[in-house]
Amino acid sequence: MIQKTALRVIKSKRLVLLALIMSSILQSLSIVGQAWFFATLIHNLVFLDHTVLDESNTITWLAVFIILRLVFSYIQEHVSSSLGHSVKSILRKEALAHLFRLGIQRGESQGDTIHLITDGLEQVEAYVSSYIPQMIYAIIIPLVMGIAIMDTLPIIGAILIGTVPLIPLFMILIGKQAEKMNQEQWDRMSLLSGHFLDVLRGITTLKVFGRAKEQIQVISRLSNEFKDSTLRVLRVAFLSALVLELVSTISTAIIAVYLGLTLLDGGLDFLPAFFILLLAPEFYTPFRQLGAAFHTGMSGKTALAKFDAFMNTPIALPRGGNCRIQGTIESIRLDNLNYTYPETSNGIKHITLQVCRNKPIMLVGESGAGKSTIARILGAFLEAPSNSVYVNDIDLSTCSMDWWRTQVTYVSQKPHVMHGTLRDNIAFGQDVSDDELLEAAKLAELHDVICEKGLDFVVGEGGMGLSGGELQRIALARAFLHGGQVLILDEVTSHLDVNTEAQISCALQRLMKNKIVILVGHRIQTMQWASQLYVLRQGEIIEQGTYESLLAQNGYFKALVDAGTGSFVMDDEGVPNISYLEIPLQQQQEKLSNG
């Protein structure tokens, strides 16, 4: 039957569905009328010796029913196409909305998601516009014609009742095997599209290491596997069409033989016999067409099953409440914040800290220590437990997330740059004028780049054509345009040369004015901007204080700084001693507490 997700959306288009059903009924009646008047015309011309002029009324009615059949057939196709397009658009909007709600922690590959939202939903459109209407035709048209046939000659009804159930029986038997094959075909297509996307994104790296040509063979192998899978599916689809054609043809032949023998025996007049003979092929036509659309139906069902699985993916973005804080935000407080990533033991534990306006703090630690997790929670990318994050002493979980995201400006070390002009990449969807863009670019130290290249300069995917420093300045220009009272800077000065870092540092100092600022990173210069440093290890804060006081403690932070500057303590054999970084966390804390 109709897949439940497709049925849910179709029900919302009641008028379109009603138009489809009514056009099917009217087309069925027009076919019956066409057959009756054609049979009457032949009967009167041959057996009653009427002239064409005598049958002018019959010919007129025949022409009317032929035109009506064509009109209703056109309406069916138009309505079916409109219904398919509407369902595809609704499901695509739902998928994109869910994708945006999923946040940054998603298990499926980007290739799978792209395949679902593009090719997958195109298959759903074909399923709704071709297969589902054909199922409706296969119910309505034979029903109307069956009534007309049985009213004319009831014995033919026994033949119809005996042959029609064979058609869905064969479709069910073949459908079980086809469903498995369609699933295999989908998986192979997802693998191929995902791998191809990864190769395109990493083509530069592959060429640098001389591995690009090997990927030609890999893609060729995956393409051949997908081709073989597709041919297996088509083999089953053609088999189903053959079976339905065979059943329809044999059934029509049985009816024709019976009518012929009965007519020769004198037990039946020519007019009803010819009328039934004309309707018999039309009776089975919807079933044959349903067989032809069988492959489309199976592919659409597989795509809808994948759509349902995608829509059932848990949402990671916080939902929030309705509270909106009026006025300025003066402080953010984390009170015993705990967060663990799903299906892992990674996360943060017992995080307690406070950041106030115009008093920047910095989160310091090794990679994986939990710095970015805290930044993502504050940036509303991850949902924190209630009563653990407070904004002006109001629980963040009760605040509107739409409002909160207008207050937070998050600048990462790898800003997303899309294929498009500099104007598009700086505006990033915001409705701003060129004057506002230029002002933001000036504040972000990007003005010289714009003067050289122009706002209409086309940037390649991933920032191709721009340096790392220019990409960071684009991110800062976006931040100036966005505004907001809370600024999160996630290692924005890493991997930059000295001159570029100096330019970006000037822009950052402007951006940080009169804001609540959370810095994340390792750079000693940015550490000195912070009024308070929080040192994390294995998801916990183990040290906190100013830059100078932490250095004076000669603890874990001092070891991190020495590792970053190359100032290791040498042992007696002249080997750098970094054993402190390898001491288990519990022993470190005991060592610090004992002085």
**Amino acid in the structure at residue 89:** S
In a domain, 580, yes or no: no
Strand ranges (DSSP E) for 49-207?
none
Give pLDDT, residue 582.
Answer: 45
In a domain, 326, yes or no: no
**Whole-model pTM above 0.85?**
no
Give pLDDT, residue 1.
Answer: 66
State the CATH number of the domain containing residue 195. Answer: 1.20.1560.10
Whether 455 and 422 have beta carbons less than 8 Å apart is answered as yes
Q: H/E element holding 287?
A: helix 270-292
In a domain, 323, yes or no: no
Give CA–CA dist 507/514, Å, rounded.
Answer: 14
Single out the residue of 533, 222, 152, 564 nearest to residue 361, CA to CA.
Answer: 533
What tokens does 279 get? 């309707």
Domain co-membership, 106 together with 254:
yes
Give pLDDT, residue 107.
Answer: 55
Whether 80 and 130 have beta carbons less than 8 Å apart is answered as yes
Give CA–CA dist 303/504, Å, rounded.
Answer: 47
State the CATH number of the domain containing residue 491. Answer: 3.40.50.300
Domain co-membership, 75 together with 189:
yes
Tell me the residue range of the domain where 84 lies.
4-312
- Total structural domains within the chain: 2
Domain co-membership, 291 together with 340:
no
In a domain, 318, yes or no: no
In a domain, 511, yes or no: yes
Boundary of a domain, candidates 254, 281, 312: 312
CA separation, residue 90 to residues 12, 142, 385 (Å): 10, 32, 33
Domain co-membership, 241 together with 380:
no
**Torsion-angle region of 69 (φ positive above 0: left; ψ -120 to 50: alpha; else: beta):** alpha
CA separation, residue 347 to residues 96, 368, 516, 519, 539 (Å): 28, 9, 24, 19, 6
- 3-state SS record for 230-245: HHHHHHHHHHHHHHHH
Domain co-membership, 357 together with 271:
no
Query: Taking CA 364 as the corner, what is the angle to CA 358 and CA 368, rounded to the nearest 5 degrees?
Result: 135
Give CA–CA dist 283/252, Å, rounded.
Answer: 9
Give pLDDT, residue 235.
Answer: 77
Domain co-membership, 237 together with 348:
no
Give CA–CA dist 363/414, Å, rounded.
Answer: 18
Domain co-membership, 386 together with 509:
yes
Query: Taking CA 535 as the corner, what is the angle to CA 529 and CA 536, rounded to the nearest 5 degrees?
Result: 135
Domain co-membership, 251 together with 376:
no
**Amino acid in the structure at residue 551:** L
Whether 313 and 108 have beta carbons less than 8 Å apart is answered as yes
In a domain, 426, yes or no: yes
What's the CA dihedral at 189, 195, 196, 197 to 10 degrees? 110
What tokens does 223 get? 């393409």
- DSSP three-state, residue 379: coil
Query: Taking CA 243 as the corner, what is the angle to CA 159 and CA 238, rounded to the nearest 5 degrees?
Result: 155
Residue 176 burial by CB count (10 A; 0-12/13-18/19+): exposed, middle or buried? exposed
Strand ranges (DSSP E) for 285-325?
none
Q: Which residue has the tokens 């039957």?
A: 1
Mean pLDDT by 10 residues, the chain (595 residues): 85 90 92 93 90 91 95 92 92 90 65 81 89 86 85 80 74 67 75 76 80 82 81 74 79 86 85 89 83 74 87 83 91 93 86 94 89 90 89 93 91 85 89 90 89 88 81 90 90 73 85 92 82 92 92 88 57 43 46 44
519-541: burial string, b at 16+ Cβ within 10 Å, e else: bbbbbeebbebbebbbbbbbbbb
Domain co-membership, 536 together with 407:
yes
Domain co-membership, 97 together with 158:
yes
Give CA–CA dist 140/73, Å, rounded.
Answer: 14
Q: H/E element holding 580?
A: helix 579-582
Give pLDDT, residue 174.
Answer: 67
In a domain, 455, yes or no: yes
Domain co-membership, 73 together with 147:
yes
* Pairing of the two strands 532-537 and 361-365: parallel
Domain co-membership, 299 together with 358:
no
